[in-house]
Amino acid sequence: MPGVHSGNLILVNARHPLTEQRRPLLAPAIPGSGVLLESHAAAMLTGALGRIGALGDIVPVSGWRSRREQQEIWYSTMAESGGEFTRKYVALPGCSEHETGLAIDLALRAEEIDFIRPDFPRDGVCGRFRAIAADYGFIERYPAGKEHITGIAAEPWHFRYVGRPHAHLMAELGLTLEEYVELLRSYPYPGGVLSTESGGYGADIGFTSSYEPSLAPSTPYQVSGNNVDGYILTLWRLPA
């Protein structure tokens, strides 16, 4: 199936590795940064940090990683901190969202920043970022209490770009990406759709097994693979 393994909503974890090693179109995570992100995700991150005046106070620590970089991080963390720590905080090469370019680790600016576990508190400027993250399409990807679902320890610094309506739905419903992808299987398009209204943008979301679903002409839509077994369709509702 073409495209199942690409798009903003691909689920990448130990059970669902990245099968394609296509390098995404990359851009600096924020202007002047050496950390790279998929270019649209970078624009959205820059927009979010700009809105709360946090460019400079919140620092991108790690964004896109090649397979080789992920391997190096895995081995060096193993050597420095041991197996238990590494399995908790570092995804296996091929199973890291960082290889998609859609994941970003953020830190509060400090003299010394821990590369594996950067400090990104709940309050202050970091709290302000959390409050608007979904408006810019980002979710906190590894929340506390969901470790048994994500397979990764709580990482309050790791954010994943999924797109605005999906980020809002996941935040409202308290779902991880694993749970959201599963939930959408119960909304097979065109039978049923999950509808959302977030900040004036209405969208109907459903699951489809076809990359080219039959739609009314001129319907604005996006389609993303889920990296498992099909596609997530986002149909934008235009104002009447």
| Residue 155 annotated in active site | yes
Candidates 155, 172, 197, 212; catalytic one? 155
Q: Which helix (H) or strand (E) holds 130?
A: helix 124-132
Cβ proximity to Zn ion, 62 vs 234, nearer residue: 62
Rule CB under 5 A: say whether 158 interacts with Zn ion.
Answer: yes
Selected from 38, 49, 64, 105, the binder of Zn ion by CB under 5 A is: 105
Show contacts with Zn ion in window 27-86 (CB under 5 A): none
Q: How far is the CB of 100 from Zn ion (least distance, A)?
A: 11
CA nearest neighbour of 155 among 13, 55, 3: 13
Cβ proximity to Zn ion, 41 vs 233, nearer residue: 41
Four-point Cα dihedral 188, 190, 191, 197, nearest 10: 80
Please name every residue paired with 140 in a beta bridge, in sequence order, or none if there are none: 159
Rule CB under 5 A: say whether 204 interacts with Zn ion.
Answer: no
Cβ proximity to Zn ion, 63 vs 230, nearer residue: 63
- Contact assessment for residue 204 and residue 193, using Cβ atoms and an 8 Å cutoff: yes
Q: How many residues bind Zn ion (CB under 5 A)?
A: 2
- Tell me which stretch binds Zn ion (CB under 5 A): 32-40, 105-113, 188-196, 210-218: 105-113
Q: Where are the beta strands (DSSP E) in 93-230?
A: 103-108, 138-142, 155-161, 194-198, 201-208, 221-225
CA nearest neighbour of 222 among 211, 159, 182: 211
Which amino acids are annotated catalytic? 155
Interface residue list for Zn ion (CB under 5 A): 105, 158
